[in-house]
Amino acid sequence: MTEITLYQVGAFTDAVFGGNPAAVCPLEAWLPDATMQTIAAENNLSETAFFVPENGGYRLRWFTPAIEVALCGHATLASAYVIATYIDSAMERVVFHSASGPLTVTRDGEVFTLDFPSEPPAAFDDGGAVAAALGIVPQEVLKAPRIDGGKIMAVLANEAEVRAAAPDLAKVKALPGDGLIITAEGDEVDFVSRYFAPHAGIPEDPVTGSAHVVLTPYWAARLGKAKLAARQISERLGKLTVEDKGARTLISGKVAPYLEGRIRV
């Protein structure tokens, strides 16, 4: 039997019970893939992150309750927090090696900033499937080109439409992409969003870093500014600052610790 330390923290929030909770499991060596997937299913959070030391940084992997994914923002933020808090208190910069390439996280006091590859979305002909799933006709439907088949993004008329949306999750699951982002210009911030990923075992994700590599280049171009304030207006609410750097997107936020424990597998 192996004992593993597990941390649970809320990402993109400054308060417990806000943001997106992620489980983080530091490892000395990889567990079998099936074991990591089972741990993620048992945690039943949108993501469980596992990392091992590699080449002066860490190899990082992410699992939803159902599948392994190629990119996850909030669990990367949570992993950097765990390293800075429990492994290397002097950490100001860490490099994670991942399925999406090297991912750098920097720390400035309580704020952690992700440096992720941008995924600018392009117009996408969905044949009306997004409108059928939402019960709302979007102003635009776009799709990101690469990660996990590409997230689909629907631009709605205003923040109120985003808040009120109640999509048919079976129809969202059938869409030809990595879940569905809905977004609009914000009332008090530059833009708001929500993200639904039933195909990955996540009906609605509280706060999604990987969605913001799609959202940021779109809204930066539309609003004519590189640095933007964003809110993911799920029930738990996520607070982010994002910056369009061309090929890269910077995503900044805080972390709130919740739980530290041991699991036996």
H or E stretch at 75:
helix 73-82
Do residues 114 and 106 make contact, with C-beta atoms less than 8 angstroms apart? Answer: no
Q: What is the DSSP letter of 166?
A: -
Q: What is the DSSP letter of 30?
A: P
Cα–Cα dist 265/243, whole Å: 41
Cα–Cα dist 227/249, whole Å: 10
Q: Which of 3, 28, 42, 47 is catalytic?
A: 47
Write the CB contacts of 77 (distance below 8 Å, at least 6 apart in sequence).
11, 12, 22, 105, 112, 114, 209, 251, 253, 255
Specify whether 47 is catalytic: yes
Beta-strand (E) ranges in the chain? 3-11, 20-26, 47-54, 57-63, 68-69, 93-98, 101-108, 111-117, 122-123, 140-143, 152-155, 180-185, 191-197, 202-205, 227-232, 238-245, 248-253, 255-264
Active site residues: 47
